[in-house]
Structures are given as C-alpha cells and as structure tokens.
Amino acid sequence: LLLACVTGPGVATLPQADTGQFYAEVEPELGASCANPACHGTAGRPLEVYAPGFHRADPDRTFVEEDLSAEEHQLNFDRARAFLTPRDPGESLLVTRPLPPGEGGTAHGDGLVIYGDRSDPRWAALAAWAGVE
C-alpha cells in the first residue's frame, strides 16, 4: 500500500473512473457475481472483492451481512480500476475476462464464462463504467 503514495517514473497510476457509477452499478455486480470465496472473494486473488455476506477486510466480519466499510468500498474501487485499460477500454480485463472468446472475451483460466454475451445488462454496466462504447 505504500507504493500507492509514491509517484514518479516507473510507478503506475490508476486510471480515472466515476466513483458514483462504480458504487451504484459496478460494485453491486462484482459483489453478486465475483465475491464468492471460490472466485474473487478470497485474499490474494487478482481483483479481490469485498461484499456483504462474503469476503471482508476484517476476517472476523467474513460472511456477516452488513454494509461495507469506507475502506472496503475504496479498495474495491481501486482494484477494479487496476483492471481498466484507458487507452482501449474494450481491452480492459474487467470487461474481457467474464465473456466467452466468441464475444471478444478472454474467459477465466478455468474457462469460466460469467456473461454469455455483450447484451447481458450486467456486463453492460461494467463496460459502461470502463468506457466501452
């Protein structure tokens, strides 16, 4: 986390993204589709996701059905932003990983497909936030 405070050559900065849209549309979808302990609801996973009733920053709160803390919201936001590709939003892992290859997706390593195609409104919420037109 200390690296997040450092700027300069060789230090990546997270892309800009709309916080309101994230908290209203994207975070709930990540919580519903990705926060399972077998997926991204586990410490150390790429795109580690916190969600009420699932994975929490405080291990004693795991599986507790209560609102996320401000820290958990911020971590979800920052982690999701790390999976965006601003110069080509359609290539962002946040929007390609959950789609099948036939839909321009890259699918998960285990072949898991979350959204069958780009017409799924849940995928559209992620894509809109990522800047896919």
Q: Which two tokens stand for residue 86?
A: 């601003």
pLDDT digits (tens, 9 = 90+) for 70-92: 999 999 999 999 999 989 999 99
Amino acid 6: pLDDT = 42
Residue 79 to residue 114: CA distance in whole angstroms = 19
> Residue 126's closest CA among 88, 87, 82, 80?
80
- In whole angstroms, give the CA distance from residue 80 to residue 76: 6
The confidence score (pLDDT) of residue 11 equals 52
Mean pLDDT, residues 79-108 taken together: 92
Does the pLDDT value for residue 1 go beyond 80?
no
Report whether pLDDT(21) > 60.
yes
Q: Which residue has the tokens 């004693």?
A: 60
- Cα dihedral: 70, 50, 91, 85 (round 10): 30
Give which of 93, 70, 77, 88 is closest to 17, Cα–Cα: 77
pTM for the full model? 0.87
Better-predicted residue by pLDDT, 11 or 97: 97
